[in-house]
Chain A
């Protein structure tokens, strides 16, 4: 069997619109390798592809960016309040103390033992013992003499003795005060323990709660951002279905086809975060900074500060990364028919 070549393939009836031999000339022309675009060329490709993807759905993309903006505006505001609240509270907390109420049936010698033990503790700066009698005197002073029912109290004093214990200023946090309270409460002589000293210490539970809410808020924000990025990118991929298929059939790898979409999500997350925090910063420096609140809250001695640069950066990186992750998940979940 002989291979006759192209002659018999060509159809018989002219006219030809295409000049035959042109493809052959193209084929034979240059054998040298074409220039490769290199790393920066590839980056330029990915970015231009990313932008054209985003611009193919301007409204959808804007909605996502705007949502991230709103979320990060609120998250930033929340963190701003939290940061200033806890700085106010820690400034207010000059001393740490607790008040232990002593059971009424504790003998004087047991009480002395307890007090001398507390005195020898190096972390304790001061111990104020208030006996039952002193407590009653103080109570009377508070109310003013002359009340008839106070006479009844003289006969049967209902007030417990108490010890107020002052600790070294605790720089490490609020936990150790908690530990001390628990340690005191566990002693047999002690009936009940409350936080003493300045009001800020009593708020430490509140701070803890706010911090927890902050962390939960952070988590929820990131979940929403990731979820929205996932959805937004899915829509974009669906819009670019044909294009993805074409590229893939031309031999583009999956990552080549998908990188612009992950990048798109990351960019949207980035812009949303920048906008949200930017608007917050603008409003803060425009309206809040320098305002002392001395009229409204004279006891606070507020010195407001904006979020630290490192916090802002962290939020920016996290916002971008979470959006990228949501998009990456979208690309790996999205089922293209011909995509390999």
Chain B
């Protein structure tokens, strides 16, 4: 990390208190440079998901500033957040799909909301699914896929629009070790393409294996920011 890299995400004195007085995050402060790969690690209930929700505008901070892509999310209108989400790929532990639509249609959905014409978006979706080894699953119902395949489809949907940021909330939480690796391979390759990748996980093993900058949360407090070893 050098000074020439600009911060794409910056949190200043961020707290989140759920009513009445459940402090999920307390005085969080860090920044993420563009193109960084970073873990949010911590035990269950430590506040990882809440922190990610602040980053994609699903929750607002009770205190402090959450700045993503140069915009302070605590005082922007909802259309701005919608636009921000178009340049952010989201992946979850159990990624949801539209059950009535095929795999390729589900992936194309990410381009549909930005108004890409049908043919172009289906082409792009097919292409990225092929890149992820799913070329023979394009027309299946997502419900019929294995957990790993679902996560790959989820990643395809998150990446098909070439976002600047990937926010992944426990993306390997429901996977076995081999599948977990497949998912982190994709995240690593996205990173190598210049995408800023933020992964929340409680899996210490994966944090060690991947070996990148890690912010550790405990009961809503930031108890460490471990840089990637040189």
Contact = CB atoms under 8 A, between A and B. Distances in A.
Given A23-B190, A37-B115, A338-B58, A11 B209 contact: yes
Interface in B86-108: 86-88, 90, 96-100
Interface string A7-27: 011111100111111111111
B78 A17 contact: no
A249 B98 contact: no
A4 B131 contact: no
Contacts, number: 148
Interface stretch (A238-246, A296-304, A317-325): A238-246
A34 B120 contact: yes
B57 to A, nearest CB: 6
A250 interface: yes
Given A9-B37, A251-B86, A246 B109 contact: yes
Interface in A1-50: 1-6, 8-13, 16-29, 34-38, 41-42, 45
Complex A-B, nearest 3 residue pairs according to Cβ-Cβ distance, in ascending order = A251-B86, A22-B131, A251-B85
B131 A5 contact: no
B189 A24 contact: yes
A23 B193 contact: yes
B91 to A, nearest CB: 10
Interface string A237-265: 00000110111111111101000000000
Given A1-B227, A16-B185, A6 B191 contact: yes
B184 to A, nearest CB: 6
Contacts of B157: 250
Given A8-B211, A24-B192, A251-B85, A41 B182 contact: no
Contacts of A311: none
Contact of B79 (A3, A248, A253): A253
Contact of B117 (A5, A6, A41, A56): A41
B122 to A, nearest CB: 11
A35 B37 contact: no
Categorize the interface residue count of chain B.
35 or more
A220 interface: no
Contact of B116 (A4, A28, A36): A36
Nearest to A252: B113
B118 interface: yes
Interface in B59-101: 78-79, 81-88, 90, 96-100
A297 B20 CA distance: 75
Contacts of B140: none
Q: Which of A16, A56, A252 has the most CB of B within 10 A?
A: A252
B162 interface: yes
Given A9-B37, A16-B185, A36-B116, A340 B96 contact: no
B174 to A, nearest CB: 17
A246 B96 contact: yes
A35 B117 CA distance: 6
A23 B131 CA distance: 6
A52 interface: yes
Interface string B217-230: 00000000001101
B116 A250 contact: no
B210 A18 contact: no
B71 to A, nearest CB: 14
B216 to A, nearest CB: 18
A249 B193 contact: no
A246 B97 contact: yes
Contacts of A22: 130-132
Contacts of B159: 23
B110 interface: yes
Contacts of B209: 11-12
Nearest to A247: B113
B100 to A, nearest CB: 7
B90 A6 contact: no
B188 A249 contact: no
